[in-house]
């Protein structure tokens, strides 16, 4: 098979591992910077031009689209779809997962447990917003934030009001969520490939930090998911139509609560925590789908 990995940096851990796994499985593989692709729209013949040649004859693509280039990256993925190329992450799933509000709406429609969440159109009635999620402390998130950036824990009404008023003044879209105290600054990342959990880790935030992101100094360890957690992860990936997904959950007194579904989850943390060949699982998924 001929596989293209859409990535802006061939030296990134995830990209390198996917190249290694493709070669190990006996496939031809290229790393393509999606921002350097030109989309050619012609009647009955969608094509992509890259640097100095047309991109043709690829059996599958593996999108690794950064949040800052979601719009153009999604357009390139969509063009490959129109050309009949299999993709591990569909363009619609990529778009839906990057829109935090829409993704939460799709998840709740599928009956998946979520923290209480409120989204308003720059409401000045901040107190009612806070009370809607059960009062302080509350978590305030920018809709466009990634890797823990743009996420604030407000532990008093005064602090929450100040943060919301500041974001409203900047015309920044935010959601307000209840704070799950019993999670103790930890969450679960479940890696789903083709409707199956292929690895899971528990991430613990650094001392004094409620965000558990590894980029922010958190630590990780392998974890055995409960039946409810495994079902929540699989159903979340399915709800957003993602063949490959990283599902982030909190352990709460009322069961697993899904925080976010990542359509371009990194491989480094999960592979090092679990020692599982996640990259190989993705290549096997492609093989199985095209067989």
What residue segments make up the domains of the chain, in order of their start?
Answer: 2-89, 97-113+182-290, 117-179
Give the model's confidence band at 146: pLDDT under 50 very low, under 70 low, under 90 confident, else very high: low
Average pLDDT over all residues of the chain: 91
State residue 207's pLDDT score.
60
For residues 181 and 12, give the distance between their C-alpha atoms in angstroms, rounded to a whole number: 35
CATH tag, 2-89 = 3.40.50.20
Residues with Cβ within 8 Å of 72's Cβ and at least 6 positions away in sequence, in order, are 34, 35
Tokens of 147: 């890797």
Euclidean distance between CA atoms 206 and 196, whole angstroms: 30
pLDDT single digits (tens) 58-95:
999 999 999 899 999 999 999 999 999 999 999 999 99
Q: Residue 62: beta bridge partners?
A: 5
State which CATH number among 3.30.420.10, 3.30.1490.20, 3.30.930.10, 3.20.20.70 fits the domain covering 117-179: 3.30.1490.20
Where is pLDDT greater, at 146 or 171?
A: 171
Distance separating the N- and C-terminal Cα atoms of the chain: 11
- Six token digits for residue 94: 């990529």
Span 200-225, average pLDDT: 72
Q: Which two tokens stand for residue 34?
A: 């999606």
Q: How far apart are CA 43 and CA 49, in angstroms?
A: 16
Tokens of 158: 């005064």
Whether 2-89 and 117-179 share one fold: the answer is no
User: What are the DSSP E strand ranges found in the chain?
Assistant: 2-6, 28-32, 37-40, 47-50, 53-54, 60-63, 86-87, 117-119, 138-142, 151-154, 174-178, 186-193, 196-204, 219-222, 244-252, 255-262
More confident residue, 207 or 80: 80
Tokens of 174: 């935010």
Task: Give dist(CA 24, CA 67) in Å, integer.
Answer: 29
Q: What is the model's pTM?
A: 0.89
Confirm if 216 and 147 have CB atoms less than 8 A apart.
Answer: yes
Q: Is the pLDDT of residue 197 over 90?
A: yes
Integer CA distances (angstroms), 77 to 100, 126, 141, in order = 20, 40, 28
Segment 22-57, tens digit of pLDDT: 999 999 999 999 999 999 998 778 999 999 999 989
Average pLDDT for 102-112: 94
**Is the CATH number 3.30.470.20 carried by domain 97-113+182-290?**
yes
Q: How far is the C-alpha of 78 from the C-alpha of 84, rounded, in Å?
A: 10
């Amino acid at each position: 098979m001929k596989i293209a990995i859409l990535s802006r940096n061939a030296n990134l851990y995830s990209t390198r591992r996917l190249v290694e796994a493709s070669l190990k499985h006996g496939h031809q593989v290229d790393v393509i910077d999606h921002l350097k692709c030109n989309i050619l729209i012609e009647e009955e013949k969608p094509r992509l031009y890259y640097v100095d040649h047309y991109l043709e004859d690829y059996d599958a693509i593996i999108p690794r689209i950064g949040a800052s280039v979601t719009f153009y990256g999604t357009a390139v993925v969509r063009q490959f779809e129109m050309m009949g190329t299999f993709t591990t992450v569909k363009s619609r799933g990529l778009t839906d997962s990057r829109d935090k509000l829409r993704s939460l709406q799709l998840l709740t429609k599928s009956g998946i447990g979520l923290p209480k969440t409120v989204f308003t159109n720059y409401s000045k009635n901040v107190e009612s917003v806070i009370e809607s999620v059960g009062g302080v402390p509350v978590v305030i998130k920018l809709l466009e934030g990634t890797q823990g950036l743009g996420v604030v824990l407000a532990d008093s009404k005064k602090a929450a009001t100040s943060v919301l008023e500041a974001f409203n003044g900047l015309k920044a879209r935010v959601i307000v969520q209840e704070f799950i105290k019993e999670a103790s600054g930890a969450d679960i990342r479940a890696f789903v490939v083709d409707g199956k959990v292929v690895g899971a880790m528990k991430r613990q935030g650094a001392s004094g930090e409620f965000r558990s992101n590894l980029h922010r100094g958190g630590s990780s360890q392998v974890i055995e998911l409960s039946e409810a957690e495994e079902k929540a992860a699989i159903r979340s990936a399915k709800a957003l139509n993602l063949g490959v997904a990283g599902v982030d959950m909190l352990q709460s007194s009322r069961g697993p609560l899904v925080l976010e579904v990542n359509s371009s989850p990194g491989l480094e943390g999960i592979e090092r925590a679990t020692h599982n060949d996640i990259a190989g699982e993705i290549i096997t998924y492609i093989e199985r789908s095209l067989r």
